[in-house]
Structure 1
Amino acid sequence: MSRRLLASLTTLLVCGGLAAPVAASAAPGSAARTAACSAPNWTAGQWYPAGSVVRYTDGRYYRAEHDNPGYDPVISTWYWEPYSCEGGDPAPSGFVVSEAQFERMFPNRNSFYTYSGLKAALSAYPGFANTGSDTVKRQEAAAFLANVAHETGGLVHIVEQNTANYPHYCDTSQPYGCPAGHDAYYGRGPIQLSWNFNYKAAGDALGIDLLNNPFLVQNDAAVAWKTALWYWNTQSGPGSMTGHTAMTGGHGFGQTIRSINGSLECDGRNPAQVQSRIDKYRQFTGILGTDPGGNLSC
């Protein structure tokens, strides 16, 4: 497990939608949808119980997934979900990987890593696998999942296997320390989030108190996937760009390896590990029916 020195926070963009006005003769259930579409404006600091629907400042609607004291719906995506006035369902994610393709990629996965958990996490970073051409979208999804497969042994491991490392992931120089315990910030989830400062940064970005509750990453599939997407979309690690930028900017899969574990694998340090990631990426682009592109190595 490498030490990933991550910076924090990103601006999250979440989409929603508005329905057409409901006629007087509308079918049963329309009144509820009309009420949702005329929901009150979101107010910072106001208490919202789970199920509350609000109109955000950009005109889009959000529904509280969990009770919260007025967290910003665009930032605190664990507490809020995009809400469509048409039927009251969350806005669709439009993910380029089908459930059947996901199962082909991870035939031996741990049941914790659900496809539905991944889909639920997509609202946190709607630009992921949804930017550029269809080819680029599929390449980014394949790149992310290939690195995830490498990090977790094919989505088998939820937590870091080397327990001897656990006490090492507490940076006591941080002013907030390690409130969950000095050995509580070991690697968890699809990209094996580790270190107290990374849990703090990811939690702040996602609106989840992961510093005090790091175990959420191994107990809640959507939270686990969100931490991986947080890293992918906002952190460059030992590289010079995020995984998202590497794939959407045409820099190639090799730069995603560098951003995740480049200090230990790239520039000839561990060519076997690099090749393992590349092989998995080629396999996944094949499953998605797209070309892997160039610049695969680092």
Structure 2
Amino acid sequence: MAFLTALIVAVGLAVLVPLASTASAAQCTTAWNSSTVYTGGLSASYNGHNWSAKWWTQNETPGTAAVWADQGVCGSTGGSGGTTGGTGSCDYPAWVAGRAYVTGDVVKYTDGNAYRAEHDNPGYDPVISTWYWEPYTCGGTPTTPPGQGGFPVSESQFNQMFPSRNSFYSYSGLTAALSAYPGFANTGSDTVKRQEAAAFLANVNHETGGLVYIVEQNTANYPHYCDASQSYGCPAGQAAYYGRGPIQLSWNFNYKAAGDALGIDLLHNPNLVQNDSSVAWKTGLWYWNTQSGPGTMTPHNAMVNGAGFGETIRSINGSIECNGGNPAQVQSRIDAYQRFVQILGVPAGNNLGC
């Protein structure tokens, strides 16, 4: 008890020492550590400021918790007023792979930019996980997320998912196609948005061999995709409606329906799906967002309503793969999905199989 009293007295004296009040910034105290216990009056530096604990605290980030009192800018100001302004010195600690970070931590990455932890994480790469990290300016304002058009997958993440992809399947083609279905990967929580994007790309990965194949490889199947009983027939030719694009759109009736929905005459011009990247991506999004296939719901609804990744497989290939039809193919899709959600920094969720 005597030791505790002495500690309190010492701490009480410490807060009587004034911080520097000159125009230059004060010296930064020891950097804040999430595992350290701070009692009232103890100081720590964080994000270019000194902070003083008002009472006992542990793992409460300075600047985001009421327990911390801001004591002002500390350290080098870089000639521009410390942390105020977007071009001043961002004197944040360097990011370290594998080191645990908590919400609010700001680090300087190897690209020279600062990133703020949106969620606690065990040291994920700031430019890989947009769920756990967001770009950060010296003034404390998050910058625009890396994905285009609000898409929760950045181009660098897309390239990481598909390191051997055919250049036809471009990121710009995908983001250009998003306007056709604005609810895709843009419905629900940030986690759900990322899960849906990962689910779509995992199925696309399986259908195309990692975004390598633009057209169906088994040419013997080509003449089978013409349902001549349709009133419009097969005007592009008996063997013209083979699988194309990220979802391998096939059959004359699917080309007709997708074209009608997208305002593109695909019935007469099916080759647009293998010649125009944006059109190809749009056909994949058309199926994903509007077609139940052999399932009971669209893949989009399966992801945003919590039915799980397994139901997206059922909506694409039904009993051909599900219910024991081809468990190896199902597992291939699941494996890709699990890789992709890890890249995006979100859990896979339940009901992965079908």
Q: Give the TM-score normalised by the residue count of structure 2.
A: 0.58
- Alignment of structure 1 residues 42-53 onto 2, 5 Å: none
Match of 1:140 in 2: 196
| 1:121 Cα offset (Å) | 0.2
How high is the sequence identity, in percent, across the aligned residues? 81
- Alignment of structure 1 residues 57-136 onto 2, 5 Å: 93-136=149-192
Query: Which one-letter code corresponds to 1:115 in the other structure?
Result: Y
> SS where residue 97 of structure 1 aligns?
coil
Query: Which one-letter code corresponds to 1:247 in the other structure?
Result: M
Query: Is the Cα–Cα contact under 8 Å of residues 108 and 154 in structure 1 kept in the other structure?
Result: yes
Match of 2:303 in 1: 247
Greater RCO, CA 8 A, separation 6+ = 1
Q: Deviations over 1:8-28 (max 9, x none)?
A: xxxxxxxxxxxxxxxxxxxxx
| 1:285 Cα offset (Å) | 0.2
Distance 1:96 1:166 in 2: 36
Match of 2:275 in 1: 219
Distance 1:142 1:234 in 2: 18
Match of 2:259 among 203, 208, 216: 203
Structure 1 spans left out of the alignment, 5+ residues: 1-91
| 1:282 Cα offset (Å) | 0.2
Distance 2:234 2:351 in 1: 40
Distance 1:102 1:110 in 2: 13
Q: Deviations over 1:247-297 (max 9, x none)?
A: 000000000000001220000111000000000000000000100000000
Query: Which one-letter code corresponds to 1:169 in the other structure?
Result: Y
Match of 2:208 in 1: 152
Distance 1:271 1:170 in 2: 29
After TM superposition, what 4+ stretches of structure 1 lie above 3 angstroms from structure 2? none
Distance 1:246 1:165 in 2: 30
Query: Is the Cα–Cα contact under 8 Å of residues 186 and 193 in structure 1 kept in the other structure?
Result: yes
Query: Is the Cα–Cα contact under 8 Å of residues 180 and 212 in structure 1 kept in the other structure?
Result: yes
Query: Is the Cα–Cα contact under 8 Å of residues 159 and 218 in structure 1 kept in the other structure?
Result: yes
Query: Is the Cα–Cα contact under 8 Å of residues 93 and 126 in structure 1 kept in the other structure?
Result: no
Distance 1:186 1:279 in 2: 27
Distance 1:169 1:267 in 2: 25
Distance 1:145 1:295 in 2: 18
Q: Does 1:271 pair with 2:324?
A: no
Distance 1:262 1:291 in 2: 25
Distance 1:212 1:285 in 2: 38
| 1:146 Cα offset (Å) | 0.1
Query: Is the Cα–Cα contact under 8 Å of residues 188 and 217 in structure 1 kept in the other structure?
Result: yes
Q: Does 1:296 pair with 2:352?
A: yes
| 1:168 Cα offset (Å) | 0.6
> SS where residue 328 of structure 2 aligns?
helix
| 1:226 Cα offset (Å) | 0.1
Distance 1:244 1:93 in 2: 18
Distance 1:226 1:102 in 2: 17
Query: Which one-letter code corresponds to 2:353 in the other structure?
Result: S
Query: Which one-letter code corresponds to 1:107 in the other structure?
Result: P
Q: Give the TM-score normalised by the residue count of structure 1.
A: 0.69
> SS where residue 176 of structure 1 aligns?
coil
Distance 1:271 1:178 in 2: 34
RMSD value over aligned CA atoms? 0.6
Structure 2 spans left out of the alignment, 5+ residues: 1-147
Query: Which one-letter code corresponds to 2:204 in the other structure?
Result: V
- Alignment of structure 1 residues 233-244 onto 2, 5 Å: 233-244=289-300
Query: Which one-letter code corresponds to 1:287 in the other structure?
Result: I
> SS where residue 292 of structure 1 aligns?
coil
Match of 1:82 in 2: none
Match of 1:10 in 2: none
Distance 1:271 1:180 in 2: 36
Query: Is the Cα–Cα contact under 8 Å of residues 253 and 295 in structure 1 kept in the other structure?
Result: yes
- Alignment of structure 1 residues 7-26 onto 2, 5 Å: none
